[in-house]
Chain A
Amino acid sequence: MTLFLCHMLDSGAAGLAAYGGGAAPLAGKGEDPFDSGMWDLHRAEYLGDPAGWQADRGMRVLAPRAAEDPAHVPVIVDATDVQGQVRRIVVTIDYSPLPLALVFHPGRAKPVLGFGVKYEIAGPIRATALADGVPARMGGAFVDAMGGGCTAPAAAHARPDWQEGFGQMRGRLWPATGRLRVSIRHPMDTGLADGIPAHHLTGLRLLDGQGDLIASVDLHEPIEENPALTFTLPPDLAAGPVRIEARDTNGYSFAGEVTA
């Protein structure tokens, strides 16, 4: 079962199936379906070298086969079919100069997250689910890209009025499906572009009407400029309201609220 919403478009379910449904290529136990040298390294560095990890076609990752725009590569991950209560989903990009894209703590939300990343070099993007009492489960997709995503300056810097609208938050809640989408206008500077220091969002969280935490995401440099995030909430929380809070490396804070 997947919580992807492709089926809401005409023949979208067939389209999703034809696209492979977000499942990684088949691999044997303990084998990397992408056969890439970076996985061992990143598994140790960003996942604490978990014993018994496995590639899992139930850890779905939808991403374009070719980046088209290396500054905005849209991705959505769905760990609904991963066994156990998923506590964290760690997203890494194999050949990025900054491989760690985000860590998602679904908490009381569904283990589904949409986001966009910058891509520097063709290679796999991976989502690894860490669930209670279950070995780490990795899924992913190969994205062809010709680079410039992380080292190019944000498009905003090309405009003299780039700070106008900075921090602007847009969002909406769809109670029927539990969808919540939020976007924040932010340059997400990686620090790798000439003369532009790092300045990016570091985290975003969702809070319920009582102010209690629903879910949170730790955000890192590879996240796209003006990022949009997609969540899925269970019915009780999808009734809203949901408060959204975010912060960045320069001490700015951002907040907004969506209601049903």
Chain B
Amino acid sequence: MISRRQALIGGTAALMLPLPARPAAPEYRLSPQQVADGVWLIEGARDSFGPRNGGAICNIVMLATHAGAIVIDTGGTARHGAALRRFADQKLGGVAASFNTHHHPDHWFGNQAFADRPIHVLPMTARLQAGNAQALSDGLYRILGGWMSGTAPLPGNPLPAGDGFGAGGRDLRLLALSGHSQADLALVDRATGTLIAGDLLFLDRAPSFPDADADMWRASLDLLAGLPASGIVPGHGPFARDSRAFVQTRAYLDGFHDRMARAADLGLAPSEALAAGPMPDFVGLGANPEEYRRAVIQRWRDFEDQALPLIGGSV
């Protein structure tokens, strides 16, 4: 699972070699806010992975309990995870357990800092974490450089079947869903009614689509929208007490689908759809136009075959 290169970067070589003259990786600065009683949100940058944010782009939630914090998502690098762990240790009496909402790296590459306590994931997420760790890690080392130092991705442990979890007097409802990725975990804190939606919800930040299944995603949104919630933490973007994240995420899914279907049906090449930029209503979202451009490449083939009838074959 851990490559030689990662072992080298994270292991003995890094400890034994004299440090080369390069700028030290900057520090992660966290600004935790308590959004409900005992519910701490450390909001990510509303942007794509980049050297400016060190991969700290997704929302991290910590729920205070008598037994320490329940940590939902662990950050995008080992050092990001370590900074989050320090906050939990200093302010919340340590860590009771952690969850990864899904297998995209911004949500779990900080797992190392939480490895002494259970890290829970959906079974499919565990498989995807193990299968994609190397490729995701290679990509992030390239984008984030020194921020990634010491990061050796550690997949979580598959949750047993069941829809509840409790620790230190706090109870969570677990919802095993999909659509943003092949397995998306959403959680509800029963004490405060806070919905922690993972990347099934985005707000003021463009949704990402590398593993999206739009129909499944919409079905998951319908289910989540039916839950009574006092407040909503999206996977990316601000905490909100209203349904804005639902409205915006649905509108983006529909708008992107319409734009791609139209582009393919009008005979555009994918490079033209990409250069045309995002849907006008969503140009200003965080991480756009980059996220839109990535999505065109990731999803184009879903639309192209629909637009091009069969006309021949091998002769």
Chain A residues within 8 Å of B, Cβ to Cβ = 4-12, 14-16, 18-19, 22, 62-66, 68-69, 72, 74-76, 114, 116, 146, 166-172, 174, 177, 179-183, 228, 230, 244, 252-258
- Chain B: which residue is nearest A245 at the CB level? B315
B12 contacts the other chain (Cβ, under 8 Å)? no
Using known A-B contacts A19-B277, A22-B275, A170-B305, determine if residue A230 contacts B311 with beta carbons closer than 8 Å. Answer: no
B282 to chain A, nearest CB (A): 11
On chain B, the number of residues with a Cβ less than 8 Å from chain A's Cβ atoms is: 40
CA distance A244 to B138 in the complex (A): 41
- CB of A74 within 8 A of CB of B271, answer yes
When distances are taken between beta carbons in the complex, the residues of chain A under 8 Å from B139 are 146
| Chain A positions within 8 Å of B312 at CB level | 169, 171, 244, 254-257
Does B309 make an interface contact (CB < 8 A)? yes
A12 to B308, CA, bound (A): 22
- For window 160-198 of chain B, which residues contact chain A by CB distance below 8 Å? none
Task: Choose from A14, A75, A177 the contact partner of B277 (Cβ within 8 Å).
Answer: A14
How many pairs of A and B residues are in contact by the CB < 8 Å rule?
Answer: 150
Query: Can you identify 11 A-B contacts, CB atoms within 8 angstroms?
Result: A8-B262, A11-B276, A74-B271, A76-B269, A114-B272, A146-B138, A167-B314, A172-B309, A181-B269, A183-B308, A228-B304
User: Which of B17-25, B93-101, B213-221, B290-298 lines the interface with chain A?
Assistant: B290-298
Query: Using a CB–CB distance below 8 Å, which chain B residues touch chain A?
Result: 138-139, 142, 259, 262-263, 266-280, 283, 289-290, 293-294, 297-298, 300, 304-305, 307-315
User: A19 near B314 (CB under 8 angstroms)?
Assistant: no
A174→B313 contact, CB < 8 A = no
Q: Which chain A residue has the least Cβ–Cβ distance from B295?
A: A68
- A38 and B278 CA atoms in complex are apart in Å by 34
Residue from B262, B274, B277 within 8 A of A64 (CB atoms): B274
CA A62 to CA B276, docked complex, whole Å: 11
Q: Do residues A177 and B267 form an inter-chain contact, with CB atoms below 8 A?
A: yes
The 7 nearest A-B residue pairs measured at CB? A256-B312, A15-B277, A114-B269, A167-B314, A12-B276, A179-B267, A256-B311
